[in-house]
Amino acid sequence: MVKIYTSFCIALFLSVFGSQFLFAYGISIARMNEKYLVLQQDTTLKSKKDPSTFSVKTDTIGQMVRALQKFKTIRDTVNIHSASRVPNLSLQQIIKGNLAGVYVQEPNGEPGTEQSIIVQGASGLLFNKKDIYALQPAVYLNGVPLVADNPFAFDIQKYDYNRIGPATNLLSQIDINNIQSITVIKDPFELAKLGPNAANGAIYITTKNARGGIRDISLNTYFGYVTAPQVNTVNGVYENNFRNQFYKKFNPTGSPASYLRDSTNVAYFGPSNWTDLYYQNTPTFSADLGITGGTERANFRFFGSGTKNAGNADDTGLNRYNLFFGINMAPFKWLTVSSTVNTARLDRTRNKSLRDRFAETRYIPDLSSPLSPNASSYAAYLTENDRNVDNNRSTVLNGNLSLTAKVNKFVITTSGLFNYNEGIRDYFIPSTLLAGISYISNYFGYSQRVSINNTVSYKYDINKNHVVHFELGQSLQGDTYKYNYARAYNGPNDYVKLSFVDGNPTKDGADNPDYLNVLAKNQFYVFRYIDKERNNLMSFYGSAKYSYKTLLTLSALLRRDGVSNGQPDSRWVTTPAFNANFNLKEQFLNGNKAINALHLSASWGRTLRVFQDDRFAAGPQYRSENGWEEEPTIPGYGGLLGINRPYNSGFIGYNISLPFADRTSVALDASFLNNRLNTAITVYNRNDKNSVIGLPVPVETGYSTEYKSGMDINNKGIELLVNGSVIQKNNGLNWNTGLNLSYNQNKLSALPTGINELIYQNDNKLEVGKSVGSYWLYTNEGIYNSDAEVPTGRTFNGIPLKAGDPKWVDYNNDNKIDSKDKVLTGDRLPKFVGGWNNTLIYKNFDLNFNFIFAAGQKAINQYEATRYGFVNREAGNDINSVKEVSSWQSFDNEKNYPIYNPWSPVDPYRTDQDLFLESASYVKLRSVTLGYDFSKTSLFKKSGGKIRRAYVYATALNVFTLTDFSGVDPELINYNGIYDGANITIPRTFVLGFKLDL
Amino acid sequence: MNYSNNKISIYRSVILALIFIVVGVNNFSCKKIENVQSIRLATEETNWKTLEDARANLLSVYGLMRSATVSDNTHWLMGDLRQGDFQITNRADLKSIVTGQLNAQYPVINRITNWRRFYAVVNAASLFIERSKQIIPLDSRYTQINNNVDIAQARILRAFAYFYLVRIWGDVPLLISSHDGDFIKLPRTSKEKVLQFATAELLTAAQVIPFKYGGDDPILPGLYYGAGWASWNGNIFTRLSAYIILAHIAAWQGNYLDAATYSKFVLDNYTKSNGSGSNGIVYLDMDALTENVNYYSPFAFKRATVLVGFPFEAGNGLSTANGHIEQLTLASPFIPKAQPEMFVPKDSILKIFTDPYDLRFSVNPANGLYRTNYFYNFTSEQPIFNKIKVIYTAQTSGNLTLFSSTMLFSRIEEITLLRAEACAVLGQRDEAVSALNKAANLRGTTPFDINSSTDLIDAIFQERRRELMGEGWRWYDIVRYNRIKNASGIFIRKNGTPLTFKQFENAGGVYWPVSQDVINANPSIVQNPYWQ
């Protein structure tokens, strides 16, 4: 490979110097004149004649850009015009329901929490948080593939609700008012061009960028409120009434939980008014300023914004400060230098929920007295919370520097991209909140990506009709991920909010025994974690595109990628991609007036996928895995580090090769009726092949899983886009509508070693032919009301079933209900997703409303399961026993479940049965905006036209939801399909905004 | 050549040259791409090279065995609950164990019935036995003697893991090599064969292993891995440990002749582990047993008094919430917790502790005052079993509910009582009584009178019940006792059917069911018939 690279560099040198040296003597005089000319020429005039001369190349997505231009605003791009009036914080919120084939999950209404994007179905498993990280598409910001948090931190975590550190959604960094376009890239050929980063698809964001011309100033601001929801609160009486039906039926002599015994206790039986303190109408606001200016030869853009985004509960919020600077220069006519830098700081105020706190502290105190629903008791608790320290700061910095040179018919581009994200969290809890001990944790982590890309392209005109474009490219990318994390318990008092060590080497003239000792007495008891991981990616590619008039284009690409996270014998992989584009309109329908455009395009491409973890490259290995499920991070034995085979996490052998994705896509797009109606229909088929999965192995070998290559997942789907001007009248009513609808079918198509099914980590099953998002559940058919109803000898995993136990279906008729009677049913991911966006314009008014929907996904209602199964929950004293203050409420559409015996050893309210499985399909009116443009009024026209736009609008966000789901909101479901009711609701927000362009 | 081709200026050349130089210099070669060494793990290429590798790999076998025995509090859930002295406050999963519903559907029960954790020890030990000798030619600091001793420890750990497996599950698959990377499916091997293998391994290892490490033991003189006996005692297995495990295997098999021999070896030789900076092995007084008093407390510190066990010293950053009996038994005022998860009810206490002078627990009939070494708040509904209370840095009470108590399998009193049991079964009454009285000597109780008409076996097991309460012995003691007594009374009712102990044992009831997860992964494993 070294040789290839060297010869490639030499070829590049020759392409510039070789030909020049051949005629260097002959042109030396002319060159002087030329230099003079270059410096003297009037660029403004010249460029107007030939706009391509100085156009700044901001991305390489040729096909995409063409498609964008063709469809103006639709075809897989977000309607920025309407999106910029909605007070969204994150990229995920902006694109939710607005990009075909993209499913966004917003499982928590708390501002700045992590959200997931899945493009055209899941390429992997969905069972734990690490899996979800692995499904995320690449997000490019001005061509910089943004580096995401690495999930390796979950290795040291007991619970994966939140990643350690600030756990802020880093895709909240971009302000919509600085965005030019957001496009989802699904085309196999374009993805192949982007390479292994984009194996899950890509979202390509282009910011508004520097450009020449008249100085352009834009100012945007909004102010509004997130509103508190209406909640039916309950207290101990309600809970006791609920529980009495169980006691009456099955345990008449049993006594209720200790906190529910004393009905004179105001804390639990007094007024339930916790909502006054928990939910608040909270202001949210934002202001930004963008300035663009300069000449055609040197221009710039500056953008700065400040946003305060708020949640409606628990005093949560996020402050964002975003700065952007872009510059383009053309020192010579043939050379452009452009650079952008984007930086943001995200300060997050996190929730005070018990679950998140105990998950962070990994320390669960006695839970027998839950939080009181009474405001005065709850206020005392909040007062203690005020002594917390919870600083969450993420700083992101990314940008690029690119040079483009045009030499003859060659275009040579070299760009350096950098991306650095830093997260800091300082967390302190006073002893009053953690049963007498204080807790502190400190996190510092960063993710860094540096890459250098070089491309050279050459256009060869065979003749007027036949043109071939060649492109050669090379790129090198280096990622580094690191964190330092320490958690510490039991400080000397609640005023010491720092964990430190004794820095004096000597004490009283002798060696200090506590010198740098983190376990010294009377200080915090400290556990420290340090981890770092690096990986490199090197790529070469060559592509050729042949065009025949405007009728037909054929493209082919071949790339070779080398990945340091691959095993040594399979690190370098060659992948091809092809594309054909056929203009049907020109070929067959040239005279047709009804059809304005009709294109058919087909692509096939293969993209390599890179492992997120460097474990797979190592083969058989030794790690420090001495703990167990409850205590996962025991470092060693007797004060010394121990290393052993990864018995807990799974064996990794040789012969693990890199996974890849094969995509096929056929798209037909058409414009009708003077381009008033644009439609596109895309059919895709993606095979994610050779993925690594942990196969169960006989546990007598010490392991429970062995990782092997060979899992294939197939996603098929259809996407439909319709965009039309339904009503088009000058000075009258105009109605533009855009609909996107996509259908996805996910199927596991192969497992390693040819097996047909496997039980994955005990709780889930995978079966070839079924969706990877399927649940594996017992089928519930009611209740045995008496022992006589139970078929003789029927057992549940060896336990005889009795009256009050659930009636589970015995599929294999062996009279034993066991895991063989569990069936795959339901799906964690929706079959249909989409959105419908409408804009009505009448004179200076415009009204926009945006519906989004997702259908076909199901959820397990664990919230109800623990409510009914209160006996086990309260006895357990584990993370699932936690009762949040927000659980003191009842819901209108709550379902009623059978009254089983909650004391039964079969655990009748277990979540692995279809009793708690329910549809989570929804339709939401996501936003409504009403705006008025003053700049068209006579008042502003008189002012001399300096003001290009003065626009006032009002937006309501998350207006209403139509759903059958019995919980609060069908979106508030955790990544694994579990609804636990612990997440903060997605608030209804109202803002008033103002946009001014000068 | 047309005019446009001549536009190349010197600047352009220079800048393009600069571009390529930047590209050329900043790009690393492909070789460099590949050479990203992970700093998070050791590979086959980097492990088994140095003395430190040997130490890290060996200690991990100990660490794995410690985790296997204590994870989810297994040692106590399996040892102290079944027909034991403890009652459960709330937890339904623990109640199921007490009532013998061992196949109940609870996550904790599912996890503790998965035997993988013990096979991780077996595999790690086998790997160590197979691979550690590679280090000898590579690192001159790692001597043959050092390696022999290390391998002997790995053998003991592997045998100990098998003993645990057999005690819990009866017949278990026997793997005697690592089968590295080869995932074989073996059926269960008969428990006799497994224990035969374990015994043979222990006897081999016992010939090699010293009485102490890093001290003046003639078998292994000088520092061990750079540290002296004071830092190793209680942490790693000695020759005494090997013989104690041998004695227990023999007793479990009913082979009391060997049990007597092996336990005699321990009692005759235990002082050989003393000295070299260690406080040594002594019979524990009450302060050392229940009040964490330094030097000898086997629970609070890594001390020579830990004959077979695995410490969790706070000073090594090893305090944990789970994996200690304190998590189950302590409550206010020892730790901030309203109720203990399990407790010994008042009636049982009075029935078990009958001697009015017993320092562990007794009530002064004159004034009604009682001793609190074992039980606090005796008069309440839920007396707190506070015999073992090692909170954070060996405190006896505190707010930080991270515990540091050692997982203690055997201490000198325990092996002395086993010796008494063996001798009693063998009819060596004098020996047995003397051992019994030796073990209980510091407990304030009236010594057992050799002429007493009380059943000696009963007396020995009663003393074990008192002395070893909360140390994970009760169920295994009940099994050995009933085997010795072979009583014809009803031992248990299964779904209403009365069973004698013999019928119960023959049906496989002594043993736990194996988790369905184990059977799913290896269908050649058959569920224990009692639990089918």
What tokens appear for A169 in the block? Answer: 């959604």
For residue A47, pLDDT over 80 is answered with no
Distance (Å) from the alpha carbon of A232 to chain B's nearest alpha carbon: 31
Task: Round to the nearest angstrom and report the end-to-end CA distance of chain B.
Answer: 91
Mean pLDDT, residues A16-31 taken together: 35
* A317-332 and A298-310 strand pairing: antiparallel
Are residues B400 and A490, on separate chains, in Cβ contact within 8 Å? yes
For residue A692, pLDDT over 60 is answered with yes
**For tokens 């936003």, what's the residue?**
A927
Q: Residues 6 or more apart from B131 whose CB is under 8 A from it? A: B48, B57
Which regions of B161-265 does DSSP assign to beta strands (E)?
none
Chains A, B: CB pairs < 8 Å: 366
For residue A177, pLDDT over 70 is answered with yes
What tokens appear for A364 in the block? Answer: 């669960």
For residue B156, pLDDT over 70 is answered with yes
Q: Which amino acid is it at A316?
A: T
Put simply, whether B144 touches A (Cβ < 8 Å) is no
- DSSP element (H, E) containing A21: helix A19-22
What tokens appear for B361 in the block? Answer: 């627990």
CB A207 within 8 A of CB A324: yes
For residue A367, pLDDT over 70 is answered with yes
Q: What are phi and psi of A145, to 5 degrees?
A: -70, 110
CB B58 within 8 A of CB B128: yes
- Quickly state the pLDDT bin for A20 (edges 50, 70, 90): very low
Q: Residues A112-145: pLDDT tens digits?
A: 999 999 999 999 999 889 999 999 999 999 889 9
B181 → closest Cβ in A35, A533, A653: A653
| Phi and psi based region of residue A361 (left: phi greater than 0; alpha: psi -120 to 50; beta: remaining) | alpha
How far is residue A404's CA from residue A392's CA, in Å, rounded to a whole number?
A: 40
| Residue of B45, B181, B40, B46 lying closest to A614 (CA atoms) | B40
- Quickly state the pLDDT bin for B31 (edges 50, 70, 90): low
Domain that holds residue B321: 312-405
B517 → closest Cβ in A369, A614, A762: A762
Q: What are phi and psi of A279, to 5 degrees?
A: -100, 135
Mean pLDDT, residues B332-355 taken together: 93
User: What's the pLDDT at B419?
Assistant: 97
Are residues B33 and A437, on separate chains, in Cβ contact within 8 Å? no
- Quickly state the pLDDT bin for A346 (edges 50, 70, 90): very high
Residue A949 CA, chain-centre distance (Å), reads: 34
Put simply, whether B105 touches A (Cβ < 8 Å) is yes
Neighbours of A57 (CB within 10 A): 14
Mean pLDDT, residues A222-227 taken together: 95
User: What's the pLDDT at A945?
Assistant: 63
| Phi and psi based region of residue B352 (left: phi greater than 0; alpha: psi -120 to 50; beta: remaining) | alpha
| Residue of A199, A184, A202 lying closest to A682 (CA atoms) | A184
Q: Residues B304-324: pLDDT tens digits?
A: 999 999 999 888 888 999 999
For residue A700, give the 3-state DSSP assignment: helix
HEC string of B304-324?
A: CCCCEEECCCHHHCCCECCCC
More confident: A34 or B56: B56
User: What's the pLDDT at A65?
Assistant: 38
| Residue of A538, A480, A475 lying closest to B32 (CA atoms) | A538
Mean pLDDT, residues A654-676 taken together: 91
For residue A894, pLDDT over 60 is answered with yes
A905 → closest Cβ in B26, B104, B516: B104
| Total of domains in chain B | 1
How far is residue A822's CA from residue A825's CA, in Å, rounded to a whole number?
A: 9
Task: Round to the nearest angstrom and report the end-to-end CA distance of chain A.
Answer: 54
Average pLDDT, chain A: 87
For residue A651, give the 3-state DSSP assignment: strand
Mean pLDDT, residues A803-821 taken together: 93
User: In terms of DSSP H, where are the helices of B314-455?
Assistant: 326-329, 346-352, 412-426, 429-439
B124: chain A residues, CB-CB within 8 Å:
644-645, 647, 702
How far is residue A542's CA from residue A227's CA, in Å, rounded to a whole number?
A: 54
A40 by Cβ neighbours in 10 Å (0-12 / 13-18 / 19+) ranks as: exposed
Q: Which residue in chain A has the smallest CA separation from B188?
A: A700
Mean pLDDT, residues A287-310 taken together: 91
User: What's the pLDDT at A17?
Assistant: 39
How far is residue A646's CA from residue A652's CA, in Å, rounded to a whole number?
A: 8
- B253: which strand partners? none
Cα distances (Å, whole numbers) of residue A684 to A76, A385, B32: 14, 51, 38
- Quickly state the pLDDT bin for B9 (edges 50, 70, 90): low
Does some domain include residue B360?
yes
User: What's the pLDDT at B17?
Assistant: 63
Does some domain include residue B373?
yes
Radius of gyration of chain B (CA): 28
User: What's the pLDDT at A306?
Assistant: 96
**For tokens 């629903």, what's the residue?**
A373
A489: chain B residues, CB-CB within 8 Å:
400, 402
What tokens appear for A760 in the block? Answer: 């994955």
Does some domain include residue B528?
no
How far is residue A887's CA from residue B426's CA, in Å, rounded to a whole number?
A: 64
Does some domain include residue B317?
yes
CB B330 within 8 A of CB B337: yes
What tokens appear for A586 in the block? Answer: 């020109």
- Quickly state the pLDDT bin for A937 (edges 50, 70, 90): confident
B125: chain A residues, CB-CB within 8 Å:
none
Q: How is residue A605 annotated by DSSP?
A: E
Put simply, whether B506 touches A (Cβ < 8 Å) is no
User: What's the pLDDT at B23?
Assistant: 53
A650: chain B residues, CB-CB within 8 Å:
none
Are residues B8 and A20, on separate chains, in Cβ contact within 8 Å? yes
Domain boundaries, chain A: 2-40, 620-649, 779-821
Does some domain include residue B390?
yes
User: What's the pLDDT at A13?
Assistant: 41
Are residues A1 and B30, on separate chains, in Cβ contact within 8 Å? yes
**For tokens 């009256």, what's the residue?**
A803
Least confident of A39-53, A100-114, B95-109: A39-53
Q: Residues 6 or more apart from A49 whose CB is under 8 A from it? A: none
Does some domain include residue B340?
yes
Are residues B336 and A366, on separate chains, in Cβ contact within 8 Å? yes
How far is residue A225's CA from residue A434's CA, in Å, rounded to a whole number?
A: 33
Vertex B19 angle, CA B14 and B20, to 5°: 100
Neighbours of A39 (CB within 10 A): 10
- Quickly state the pLDDT bin for A3 (edges 50, 70, 90): very low
Q: What is the DSSP string of A116-178?
A: EEEESS-SS--SSHHHHHHTPPEEEETTEEPPPPPGGGGGG-S--SS-SS----GGG---GGG
Percent of chain A beyond pLDDT 70? 91
Q: What is the DSSP string of B178-194?
A: --TT-------B-HHHH
For residue A55, pLDDT over 80 is answered with no
How far is residue A750's CA from residue A690's CA, in Å, rounded to a whole number?
A: 9
How far is residue B466's CA from residue B134's CA, in Å, rounded to a whole number?
A: 48
User: What's the pLDDT at A948?
Assistant: 82
- A104: which strand partners? A117
Least confident of A342-351, A566-575, B12-21: B12-21
Q: Residues 6 or more apart from A434 whose CB is under 8 A from it? A: A361, A363, A365
Are residues B15 and A643, on separate chains, in Cβ contact within 8 Å? no
CB B326 within 8 A of CB B314: no
Distance (Å) from the alpha carbon of B3 to chain A's nearest alpha carbon: 10
What tokens appear for B112 in the block? Answer: 């503790």
Least confident of B33-47, B256-270, B370-384: B33-47
**For tokens 């108590």, what's the residue?**
B405
Cis preceding-peptide flag for B333 (omega within 30 of 0): yes
More confident: B39 or B448: B448
Up-side HSE of residue A535: CA atoms within 13 Å toward CB?
22
CB B527 within 8 A of CB B514: yes
Mean pLDDT, residues A762-769 taken together: 91
Q: Which of residues 288-327 of B touch A (CB under 8 A)?
A: 302, 310-311, 313-323
Distance (Å) from the alpha carbon of B32 to chain A's nearest alpha carbon: 9
Which regions of A609-704 does DSSP assign to beta strands (E)?
621-622, 636-637, 640-641, 651-652, 660-672, 677-696
Are residues A23 and B6, on separate chains, in Cβ contact within 8 Å? yes
**For tokens 């094969």, what's the residue?**
A662
**For tokens 């853009």, what's the residue?**
A301
What tokens appear for A562 in the block? Answer: 């080398």
Q: Residues A638-652: pLDDT tens digits?
A: 888 899 999 999 999
How far is residue A812's CA from residue A822's CA, in Å, rounded to a whole number?
A: 10
* A651-652 and A705-727 strand pairing: parallel
Q: Residues A325-335: pLDDT tens digits?
A: 999 888 888 88
A531: chain B residues, CB-CB within 8 Å:
40
B175 → closest Cβ in A571, A624, A700: A700
User: What's the pLDDT at A51?
Assistant: 32
What tokens appear for A674 in the block? Answer: 């003077």
User: What's the pLDDT at A56?
Assistant: 34
Vertex A573 angle, CA A568 and A577, to 5°: 170
- Quickly state the pLDDT bin for B301 (edges 50, 70, 90): confident
